[in-house]
Structure 1
Amino acid sequence: MSVLIKIEQRGRVLVARLDNPPHALMTEPMIQELEALVIRADIDPGIGAVVFTGANSERFIAHYDVGELLQVAKSSPAVSYNQAKVTLAITRMLALVPGMRALLRKTPAAGVLQLQDFHDVLLRMGRSGTIFIAAINGQTAGGGLEFSLACDLRYISDRGELAQPEVLLAFPPGGGGTQRMARLIGRARALELMLTGRGITPGEAERLGLVTEVVPHERLLEKVIAVAERLARRPKAAVGVTKQAVLEGGSLSLEKGLHVEQAAFLAQLGTPQAKRAMQAYVDHIQKTGVLPAGDPAARKRLEDGTFVDFTNR
């Protein structure tokens, strides 16, 4: 079996090239490789950031493999919305039973399990202390866009294009697009993009807030790796709880969201890393009489992650 995600490690950064010729489709085997990569990056203290980009010079990921989806549709009975909700719940419970996951993959529930696996790996990215960045080097749509929305930051080539076109094939987004896009850019704009299925230019994607920045095509990977190298020096525990508070706490009521933030703050405040960083900050003030945030050199080291070394294991 060919490797669909080619990985190169550069210090604390993994560069992951999505490589599934000829069409650069996302498939179930790619999701399995993605899961292994995310788990590795999550638990390895020597990895602080992952940069995803397409091996195809003109595509990030085209979209999810429609042929796979058609096979799932043909092998499973048609169900109503309420029946689908029950099926999802039962499949998730059964998958927790030892040995059942392998058996489920041989039944019509295999498609349900495949969908849940995709969602689970994207949720893990959002809870991980590792920072995930999409370097969108070309066209991406459907599942490819949904995958990039689950990354923490998105940079796009000036030759790129985005789209969420599932409705054109008579089904809605299924990889989190309806939820992550609406939370990112607002319900009205997200609905317009999903109901039209139209292409989104790099400039519009930046204006809408779908991407962080548009970068000249030939400089994209260099730019994103430089960003990743700086962010990879952040303390992973603090990164993880910050992401959870924003991504999950931000979907709750204000009072409950603030409770999530307070718990994250208190849990991290007493860690050895936080105490060491705060002591270095106070020591700088006592030594120089200047706040580090107001000292250009110290401020730069704070932002670069070199004021305190959090990479020591």
Structure 2
Amino acid sequence: MASTHNRLTIKAETSAYWRIIIENPPINLYDPEMFAELNVLMDKIEADRELKVVVFESANTDYFVAHYDLERGEVVPEQPGAAEFSAWPKFVTRLAQSRVVSVAKLRGRARGHGSELALACDMRFASKEKAVLAQVEVGVAVVPGGGATEWLAALAGRSRALEIICGADDFDADTAEKYGWVNRSIPDAELDAFVDNFARRVASFEKRALELAKKLVNARAGVPTEADRWSSNQAFIGTTSWPETQALIGKMYEKGLQQDGDFELRLGHHVGHVAR
């Protein structure tokens, strides 16, 4: 079944295991319609008493989710689940605290908000050959506003979080694994089977035990609060209005930002050269 505008398609492998297929051509931008569908998805997840595990993956092998749509990000479309971007921390909190286990299967580029969607999931498994992760915001004269600051500081530690965020460059799956950004870097030919087997294994277990295990780990792991994420979200929204940011983004649009092509494919490289 497909949600409105079809950015997300739910494929129910079993009553306990759903795959969420992301498809927003040409580069899987995170846009307001995708956010609306994610909110509707959370409603469905919370209402389903049999569901135990969800896997987020992309239909586009080049992009998991490219990044936040800088042109339309603050639009609120007329469709179920629509909300301003400032409501993102609420969505993340719902996902992190939900009864289900969430997994991101990363193939292609997960930059900016794409990385942050993956970080919002409980686990991340990445294609060794095809996954690219980045928090490019500082290179675009903004700061991360979707949770990267909070999650990466906890997962990778202060110095590596600063390297990722202030360096604004692309990271391969092996380095991301070493830094704790992803759980595992897995050969691409084995990724689908690994994630599917893992999800089916989890889906076979007693639901109450899974829920309690997640709740106990969350309590001990120091999951960032909605207030923490809200603060970063507001900082991001504020930086988008800076004159320097607007000028830099304008240059990037001229070079191919948010278009299918080399600029987006090698965005980590290009953001390091636009302002020079």
**1:119-141 deviation line (CA, Å, top 9, x unaligned):** 11111111111010000011110
Q: 1:240 to 1:115 in 2, by over 3 A?
A: farther
**1:180-200 deviation line (CA, Å, top 9, x unaligned):** 111111111111110010111
1:138 aligns with 2:142: no
Q: 1:43 to 1:23 in 2, by over 3 A?
A: same
CA distance in 2, matches of 1:148, 1:172: 18
- The equivalent residue for 1:228 is 199
CA distance in 2, matches of 1:240, 1:117: 25
Q: Determine which of 19, 24, 37 is the counterpart of 1:20.
A: 24
CA distance in 1, matches of 2:153, 2:219: 14
What is the RMSD computed on CA atoms of the aligned residues? 2.2
- The equivalent residue for 1:7 is 10
Q: Relative to structure 2, which stretch is displaced further, 41-50 or 11-20?
A: 41-50
Q: Determine which of 115, 121, 138 is the counterpart of 1:151.
A: 121
Q: Determine which of 164, 169, 176 is the counterpart of 1:198.
A: 169
1:65 aligns with 2:69: yes
Among all aligned residue pairs of Structure 1 and Structure 2, give the percentage whose two residues are the same amino acid.
31
CA distance in 1, matches of 2:207, 2:126: 25
1:130 and 1:232 in contact (8 A); partners too? no
- The equivalent residue for 2:153 is 182
Shift of 1:246: 3.3
Shift of 1:244: 4.0
Q: Determine which of 206, 210, 218 is the counterpart of 2:181.
A: 210
Q: 1:173 to 1:241 in 2, by over 3 A?
A: farther
Q: 1:237 to 1:128 in 2, by over 3 A?
A: farther
CA distance in 2, matches of 1:221, 1:39: 27
**1:149-193 deviation line (CA, Å, top 9, x unaligned):** 111110001211100010111111000110011111111111111
Partner of 1:53: helix, strand, or coil? strand
Shift of 1:249: 4.6
Q: Determine which of 20, 40, 45 is the counterpart of 1:41.
A: 45
1:41 and 1:48 in contact (8 A); partners too? no
Partner of 2:84: helix, strand, or coil? helix
1:127 aligns with 2:130: no
Q: 1:236 to 1:114 in 2, by over 3 A?
A: farther
Q: 1:125 to 1:238 in 2, by over 3 A?
A: farther
CA distance in 2, matches of 1:156, 1:164: 16
1:247 aligns with 2:247: no
Partner of 1:137: helix, strand, or coil? strand
CA distance in 2, matches of 1:60, 1:216: 16
Larger radius of gyration, structure 1 or 2? 1
Shift of 1:24: 0.9
- Equivalent residues, number: 214
AA of the residue aligned to 1:184:
L
Q: 1:173 to 1:248 in 2, by over 3 A?
A: farther
- Structure with the higher fraction of residues in strand conformation: 2
User: What 5-or-longer segments of structure 2 have no aligned partner?
Assistant: 224-276
CA distance in 2, matches of 1:14, 1:145: 21
Q: 1:182 to 1:244 in 2, by over 3 A?
A: farther
Partner of 1:14: helix, strand, or coil? strand
Shift of 1:59: 1.2
Partner of 2:182: helix, strand, or coil? coil
CA distance in 2, matches of 1:129, 1:234: 13
AA of the residue aligned to 1:10:
E
Shift of 1:31: 1.1
1:135 and 1:156 in contact (8 A); partners too? yes
Shift of 1:35: 1.5
TM score, norm. by length of structure 1: 0.64
2:5 and 2:33 in contact (8 A); partners too? no
CA distance in 2, matches of 1:42, 1:232: 16
CA distance in 2, matches of 1:65, 1:240: 34
Partner of 1:66: helix, strand, or coil? coil
User: What 5-or-longer segments of structure 1 have no aligned partner?
Assistant: 73-104, 253-313
Shift of 1:247: 3.4
